[in-house]
Amino acid sequence: MAEVELKNVTRRFGTDVALDDVSMTVPDGSFVVLLGPTGAGKTTTLRMVSGLDLPDRGEVFIGGRSMAGLTPAQRDVAMVFQQYSLYPHLTVRENLEFPLKSPTLRTPAAEIAKKVGEVAEVLQISHKLDNKATALSGGEMQRVSIGRALVRRPAVYLMDEPLSSLDAKLRSDLRVELKSIQANSGATLLYVTHDQIEAMTMATHVGVLDHGRLVQFGTPREIYENPVSIYAASRLGQPRINVLPADVFGHAPTGATTIGLRPEQIRQGEGAASTVRRVERLGDETRLHLAFRNHDIITVTDAHTKLRGGDTVMIRPEGAFYFDATGNRIA
């Protein structure tokens, strides 16, 4: 596998800036998730690495080698698209075999059969191997699309929201399997999603993108516990971080206009009074929806709490984040 490096990459589409001077290193053997909403530049970043699109400025390196002038086929990458792209006239088996039959790879028939069988079992499509691609459901098609990348051993795997069309259980199962495959193989994987659960559970590193700018890069824990801005803080965490006026609890640092409070940064039992608006029981935890000085707050409490709507809860902040008028973190 190989390290991927983007150096000052910029890409414009007319007057729209899709990537704005992005520099980022994807370490060899890492699972890097690009996180952000639609239009943040996630897919464009993948296209820069794959060679499907070219930067207006800057350069991409894979394994320390410049990709300037190299076609997608010459870059030794495997890409999974958000919308499954299969050969409809081929069976599932033939679709999975197709990359391995490339004249470049020259994979022996026995090894092709072994790899296809292993990947089909992981993706729970062994019973569909002889079906035509057109006879599959949308979720099954996407699993075949993922499998077509996994049968190979490229320098880099690129995945563009590959689990978005799957049902919740299969999505959860494949999160575990993909992470296991990546960790066991030592693969370098660059993965695009807007799903923070995927980012928190799968990534070794997260790149937070905002309108083509890389605003923070680090481990999921680093970004969760030490966000550089309101935007970065809001990308990770379920429920989302509570953002309130800085002085809602009293004294605030000079220059602070807002306070950010993750659910665990709200201590109960002392401080100022809030009112329980709703109790949301989720089994392993219970979320409290509170009304506090004309603001809504969500926090978590004991799973077996006896609190009900209308009850009063005393709360205070602990270890809160403060942000200035531009949304940047105040140390």
Q: Are 151 and 116 in contact (CB under 8 A)?
A: yes
Query: So what's the pLDDT on residue 180?
Result: 86
User: Pseudo-torsion of CA 227, 6, 163, 70, nearest 10°?
Assistant: 180
Kindly report, as residue ranges, where domains of CATH 2.40.50.140 are found in the chain: 239-330
| Whole-model pTM over 0.85 | yes
Name the architecture of domain 4-234.
Answer: 3-Layer(aba) Sandwich (3.40)
Query: How many alpha carbons fall within 13 Å on the CB side of residue 101?
Result: 9
Give backbone dihedrals phi and psi of 271, rounded to 5 degrees, phi first: 105, -135
Kindly report, as residue ranges, where domains of CATH 3.40.50.300 are found in the chain: 4-234
For the chain, give the mean pLDDT.
92
CA distance 169 to 276: 32
* Domain 239-330 annotated CATH 2.40.50.140: yes
**Tens digit of pLDDT for each residue in 132-149?**
988 888 778 888 988 888
**Tens digit of pLDDT for each residue in 26-60?**
999 999 999 999 899 999 999 999 999 999 999 99
Query: So what's the pLDDT on residue 280?
Result: 94
For 20-34, 74-88, 265-279, 315-329, which range has the lowest pLDDT when averaged over its residues? 74-88
